[in-house]
Every structure is written in C-alpha cells, then in structure tokens.
Amino acid sequence: QVRLAESGGGSAQAGGSLRLSCVVSDFPYYTSACMGWFRQAPGKEREAVAAIYGGGGSTYYSDSVKGRFTISQDNAETTVWLQMDNLKPEDTAMYYCGLSRGYARRPLSATEYDYWGQGIQVTVSS
C-alpha cells in the first residue's frame, strides 16, 4: 500500500524558514509520478502550494509562495522537500503531501492526486 509520510513541520516566526519532507513508500513508478504540497487552514479549502514531476521534471508554484518556497526531489525520487523561506503568518496551515500516479494535467489541482499523507502543522507567528 502506498504511504506518504510528512515531517519537518512546527513553528517559526515571520521571516523564518522551515523545511518539510515527504517520504513515499511502496510506489514503484516514481519517475512517472507528480508530487505536490498542498495546505489547508482552518475554515478554508485545501490549496496548492507547489508540485514537481518525477525524473527531474518541471516545478510549479502557487502565486502566494512563488519566490519564497522551493520544491525539490531526491535522485531516487522517494523523498520530496518543501523549503519554506521568508515565512508569513498567512502560511500557517496543515500541509499535505500528495502523489499522482501518472501525468497530472493540472499539477496544482488537488483532484489530480491519488494518495495523501496525514498532514503536518506549520504555524508562523508575527
């Protein structure tokens, strides 16, 4: 069974940094997969943060994090990181890692993703 496990969340002050990790287990087709980070704040819908295609493919970012967050992947493509710099209080949310088994026409759409991690909390104080 495919499993995604996030780690690295926590608290930071505005302007600070955090790095999230997502480890994928039991999925043999990493190079054809798209992986993404999404977040959901209380009372709000889940929104896209960033996505990356396997095999060193393209990256995508939402406008709200572009220039501040960086998504990357290890060579084995079993781990995806989200480096979050210059954090803002509005970045406070539960962050989820998602995996799309195949090509995702809209990598920043949650409907493209087949598997999800349990989520990890990120809290940014002003």
Q: Which helix (H) or strand (E) element contains residue 5? A: strand 3-7
Q: What would the pLDDT profile of 32-49 be if each residue is shown by its tens digit?
A: 789 999 999 999 999 999
pLDDT tens-place string over residues 107-125:
999 999 999 999 999 999 9
Taking alpha carbons only, the member of 68, 37, 29, 74 closest to residue 56 is 74
Other C-beta atoms closer than 10 Å to the C-beta of 125 total 11
Residue 56 has pLDDT above 70, yes or no: no
pLDDT of residue 30: 65
**Rounded to an integer, what distance in angstroms lies between the CA atom of residue 91 and that of residue 89?**
5
Per-residue DSSP letter, 79 = E
**Residue 109 exposure: Cα atoms within 13 Å on the Cβ side:** 6
With bands split at pLDDT 50, 70 and 90, how would you rate the model's confidence at 23? very high
3-state secondary structure of 52: strand
User: Between these two residues, 120 and 1, which has the higher pLDDT value?
Assistant: 120
Confidence at residue 27, expressed as pLDDT on a 0 to 100 scale: 83
